[in-house]
Structure formats: structure tokens, C-alpha cells
């Protein structure tokens, strides 16, 4: 990326809206804007505008006065990108924003690539890569908890935690190097337990970050969820409860829900990406082909899903289909929903059913899908099962698969270092592993990240961010 170029892009979503904001960043941001933007008061000059000030005027395209425009000025390095930045607000809707972009291109501005403003912020040292990824996560977050988690990362909590670990490893590593390279210098030897204790403490911090990743990801991005059960247990009713309107066709006739339908619903702080599936039942070779295909897809989804809601009719004897479903849920993030509690199933039947299902599920949840009051109960159960209820949104957390991979590599290198000491291998062995861990952590924060890593991270960004 050429930081000498001045770039521009629409920073607000395309389409109709109150205002559209076009952002201009780079060394020529003021010069380019001066060619396009005419302040209302003729004595005002764009080039003289101080940072954090605004001017009212209009923009011109090919000599023609276009829309009323407000220009907001930021002077390097006190801007999002760390460069000179001008944000131009015009009326929302595509026409005026596109006209403004055209005028800026004609004035010599280049179109910004996906995530280019944030990438420039990283290259100019305004934020590290973990914070840049947090920007993306804030934009993508569907729930407030997820956004809060990303905001914590943007504020630098993860960057700070990683910096702390790195600095401690750096001290250890310096010590080991001195000891190995200058044996005659009388560098005090680390007590045998001291090195492993220090390594263990750093590893524990990384373990905590790695363990918390899944729950954080659920809060930020939601979870793929399947809803399964034999016909008539109330899956469609449950889906309607979740969706908040009559979306699935609820009918007392078995087998109307045939397709795997995707729909995103917000359940408390968690977005569920739902697959409403065909009723689970065994179909012989002579059975309904469409239904069989639906069932195959249901099973596949069950294996991939981050959350399985398996629905049963409370107190009803378990059918072969029920048992097949339960067995399939073993070891998975699955909740058994014992639906239709309002029909007041007998206590003995209910107890027997729970007994039979318990070994396969992490949670049994008596529910009445017909009753809207069931929603918060279900939300709480899901948040607890996925660990989302226990997430501290103010604490440092990993917020991308890339960060998780780097943290895991660093953790594994530390584990190898500890292992080498347990086996009585010399300090060199620990030193090599420590260097590996340091490299992985530098990759995590982006300090050591190559062009390819940056390309990969920013390819997921939208243009204008």
C-alpha cells in the first residue's frame, strides 16, 4: 500500500439515509478537498482549516454546484488514520455521494481499498492489528455484549495483555541468553523452579485467553443453531417464539416442515443462525425422498452446529426417533427441550423421560414454546451452555481466528519450553521455545505480520472503514 497516495471512499452504507459521509485521507487530503469543496463564506480556506473544526459549503462536480456539504477536518497525526483526514457529509442516497466521489477522483484522489483507512491507521502506528480487528468486530457485532467485548479490544486490553506477556518473556529470554553466551560472567542462574514457574504463569494467561475464545465468538458473531425433533413436538412453534412472528407454518399435521431454512434471530445477547429442519424420523428406502434428503441434511447440521436445540414432548414415551436424536446429541452443545409443559405431564412420566435423556444432554429444559414468557428462560439456558453468560466483556479477549491461532502457537511453544525443563534439558532448549513463543506473539499483535497477513485481515473489511 502506498501511503503517499491520498484515498477516498464512502464511509456510510450505500442506499438512502439522512447523510452520507465520504472520507478522504492522505498527504493531499486538504489540497484535494480544496479543489472540490467550496466554503459558504468566501474568505474561509480549506488549507487553513485547523484540526477538529468544520466548514459548511457545497461541493462542485465538473464546475457545477452540487449538494450542500459539511467538511470536518482532522490534522495528522490526530486522526483515525494518523494522516490528514477530511470527512465530507452530503445528503444520504447514492446520487450525491457518488457525485462527490467522482469529483474527488477527478481531483486526483484514488479509491480506498477494503479496510484501507484502518490499515493506514495500523501502518501509521495509531493502533495495532488486534485493535484493527476489533474495529471489524464492532461493526459486525449483532448484540451489545459482543460489541462491548470488541470495544474492550479496541481500547487495547488485548494488546496490553499480550505486551505484558511479551515483556516478561523478553526478560526471561535475555536472562537465558546471558547465561548461555557469557558463562564466565557469573550471571546468576535461575533457580530450577523459577524458570518453569515464570513460563507457567505466561502459559496460564494464554490458556485463559484461548479458553475464552469460543464464548466471546458466540457473543460477537452468534452461533449456528439447529432445531431438531420428531414431527409435532413443537419445533415450528419454538421457531416462531424465537423469531417473534409467525414465520414457520405451524400445523397439527406431521411432517410439514421439510426444508432446512436459515434465519437469524436474536436471543438475548446471542444471535442464533437457525436451521429449521425436517422432522427427524427414520425413513426406509421406500420412504419420501424429499423428506429423506431433509433428514440427511438435519444430521449434517447437527454435527456442525454450535448449538443444538433438541425438542421432545414432555412426559411422552421416547420413540425410536427420539432416542436416535438423543444419542446423536451426546458430547455436543445440546439442550433437550421438554416442550408442552402447559399440558402438565405426569410427574412419573416426566421423571422417567428426564432419566432417559440426561446422559446425552448437558442441559434439560422444561418449556412451553407456546408461551412468550419462555423466551428469557431459553435465552439464559443458551447463554449458560455456551459460556456467554460467564464472559467478562471488560477483560482482554481474542477476537479473531487469526489471533486464536497465534495465541495457540505461542502457548504450545511455552508448553514445550516447560516440558524441556522437566526433562532436564539445558537452558538452550528453553531459549529456542521462548523465541518461538515471542515470534507467535509478535505475529498476534501484527508487529511481525507480513504483507500477506495484513492482506488477509483487511480483505474481510468493508470499503470505507
Please report where in the chains the cell 474481510 appears, as a residue.
Answer: 460
Q: Least CB distance from residue 249 to ligand GDP, whole Å?
A: 8
The nearest distance, CB 277 to ligand GDP, in angstroms, is 10
What 3-state DSSP class applies to 344? coil
What are the residues whose beta carbons fall under 8 Å from the beta carbon of 128, sequence distance 6 or more?
122, 156, 159, 445, 446, 447
Please say which residue, 116 or 313, places its beta carbon nearer to ligand GDP. 313
Q: Cβ closer to ligand GDP: 250 or 425?
A: 250
In whole angstroms, the minimum distance from the beta carbon of 252 to ligand GDP comes to 4
Minimum distance between the CB of residue 236 and ligand GDP, rounded to whole angstroms? Answer: 3
CA distance 168 to 190: 14
**Of 234 and 315, which CB lies nearer to ligand GDP in the complex structure?**
234
Closer of 91 and 370 to ligand GDP (Cβ): 370
Helical residues (DSSP H) of 107-156, grouped into ranges: 116-123, 129-140, 144-154
Give me the least distance between CB of 269 and ligand GDP, in Å please.
24
Smallest gap from Cβ 340 to ligand GDP, in A, equals 4
- Cα gap 32→5, rounded to integer Å: 11
We find the least distance from the C-beta atom of residue 272 to ligand GDP, in angstroms, to be 16
Between 237 and 420, whose beta carbon lies closer to ligand GDP? 237
Beta carbon nearer to ligand GDP, 33 or 237 = 237
- Check residue 362 and report its DSSP letter: S
Q: Which is nearer to ligand GDP, 282 or 342 (CB)?
A: 342
Number of other CB atoms surrounding residue 142 within 10 Å? 16
- The contacts of residue 39 (CB under 8 Å, 6+ apart) are 45, 46, 55, 56, 57, 71
The residue (of 23 and 340) whose beta carbon lies closer to ligand GDP is: 340
- Distance from C-alpha of 68 to C-alpha of 81, rounded to nearest angstrom: 26
Say which residue the cell 442506499 belongs to.
Answer: 15
Task: Rank residues 15 and 317 by Cβ distance to ligand GDP and give the closer one.
Answer: 317
Residue whose CB is less far from ligand GDP, 72 or 350: 350
Closest C-alpha among 248, 236, 403, 373 to residue 309? 236
Nearest CB to ligand GDP, comparing residues 130 and 232? 232
Instruction: For 60-105, give the DSSP string.
Output: EETTEEEEEEEEEEE-TTSSSSSS-EEEEEEESSHHHHHHHHHHHH
Residues that bind ligand GDP (CB under 6 A): 229, 231-237, 250-252, 257, 279, 339-340, 342-343, 368-370
Q: Identify whether 77 is preceded by a cis peptide bond (ω within 30 of 0).
A: yes
Q: How far apart are CA 197 and CA 422, in angstroms?
A: 12
40: three-class secondary structure by DSSP = coil
Provide the minimum distance between the beta carbon of 237 and ligand GDP in the complex, in angstroms, as a whole number. 3
To ligand GDP, the closest distance from the beta carbon of 348 in angstroms equals 20
Q: How far is the CB of 224 from ligand GDP (least distance, A)?
A: 19
CB of 253 to ligand GDP, least distance (A): 8
Pairing of strands 363-366, 19-25: unpaired
Torsion of CA 238, 243, 247, 250, to 10 degrees: 10
Nearest partner of 217 among 400, 417, 354, 7, judged by Cα: 400
The Cα-based distances of 280 to 285, 305, 321 in angstroms read 16, 16, 6
DSSP 8-class letter at 143: S
Amino acid at each position: 500500500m502506498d501511503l503517499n497516495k491520498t484515498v477516498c471512499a464512502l464511509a456510510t452504507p450505500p442506499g438512502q439515509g439522512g447523510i452520507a459521509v465520504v472520507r478522504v485521507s492522505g498527504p493531499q487530503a486538504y489540497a484535494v478537498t480544496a479543489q472540490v469543496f467550496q466554503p459558504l463564506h468566501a474568505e474561509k480556506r480549506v488549507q487553513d482549516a485547523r484540526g477538529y473544526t468544520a466548514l459548511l459549503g457545497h461541493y462542485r462536480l465538473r464546475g457545477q454546484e452540487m449538494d450542500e456539504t459539511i467538511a470536518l477536518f482532522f490534522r495528522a497525526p490526530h486522526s483515525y488514520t494518523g494522516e490528514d483526514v477530511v470527512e465530507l457529509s452530503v445528503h444520504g442516497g447514492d446520487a450525491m455521494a457518488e457525485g462527490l466521489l467522482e469529483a474527488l477522483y477527478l481531483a486526483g484522489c484514488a479509491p480506498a481499498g477494503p479496510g484501507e483507512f484502518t490499515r493506514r491507521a495500523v501502518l501509521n502506528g495509531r493502533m495495532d492489528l488486534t485493535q484493527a480487528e476489533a474495529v471489524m468486530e464492532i461493526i459486525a457485532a449483532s448484540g451489545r455484549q459482543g460489541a462491548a467485548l470488541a470495544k474492550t479490544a479496541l481500547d487495547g486490553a488485548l494488546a496490553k495483555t499480550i505486551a505484558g506477556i511479551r515483556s516478561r518473556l523478553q526478560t526471561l529470554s535475555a536472562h537465558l541468553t546471558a547465561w548461555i553466551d557469557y558463562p564466565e560472567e557469573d550471571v546468576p542462574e535461575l533457580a530450577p523452579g523459577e524458570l518453569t514457574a515464570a513460563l507457567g504463569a505466561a502459559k496460564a494467561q494464554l490458556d485463559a485467553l484461548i479458553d475464552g475464545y469460543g464464548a466471546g465468538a458466540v457473543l460477537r458473531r452468534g452461533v449456528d443453531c439447529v432445531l431438531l425433533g420428531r414431527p409435532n413436538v413443537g419445533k415450528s412453534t419454538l421457531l416462531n417464539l424465537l423469531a417473534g412472528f409467525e414465520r414457520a407454518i405451524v400445523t397439527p399435521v406431521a411432517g410439514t416442515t421439510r426444508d432446512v431454512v436459515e434465519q437469524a434471530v436474536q436471543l438475548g445477547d446471542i444471535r442464533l443462525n437457525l436451521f429449521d429442519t425436517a422432522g427427524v424420523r427414520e425413513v426406509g428406502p421406500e420412504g419420501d425422498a424429499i423428506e429423506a434428503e431433509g433428514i440427511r441434511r438435519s444430521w449434517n447440521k447437527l454435527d456442525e452446529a454450535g448449538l443444538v436445540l433438541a425438542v421432545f414432548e414432555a412426559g411422552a414415551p421416547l420413540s425410536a426417533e427420539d432416542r436416535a436424536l438423543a444419542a446423536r446429541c451426546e458430547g455436543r452443545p445440546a439442550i433437550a427441550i421438554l416442550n408442552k409443559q402447559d399440558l402438565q405431564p405426569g410427574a412419573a412420566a416426566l421423571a422417567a423421560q428426564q432419566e432417559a435423556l440426561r446422559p446425552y444432554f448437558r442441559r434439560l429444559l422444561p418449556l412451553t414454546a407456546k408461551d412468550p414468557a419462555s423466551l428469557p428462560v431459553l435465552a439464559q439456558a443458551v447463554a449458560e451452555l455456551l459460556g456467554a453468560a460467564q464472559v467478562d466483556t471488560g477483560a482482554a479477549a481474542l477476537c479473531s481466528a487469526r489471533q486464536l491461532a497465534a495465541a495457540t502457537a505461542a502457548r504450545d511453544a511455552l508448553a514445550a519450553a516447560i516440558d524441556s525443563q522437566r526433562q532436564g534439558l539445558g537452558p538452550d532448549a528453553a531459549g529456542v521455545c521462548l523465541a518461538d513463543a515471542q515470534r507467535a506473539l509478535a505475529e498476534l499483535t501484527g508487529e511481525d505480520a507480513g504483507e500477506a497477513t495484513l492482506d488477509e485481515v483487511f480483505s474481510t473489511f468493508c470499503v470505507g472503514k
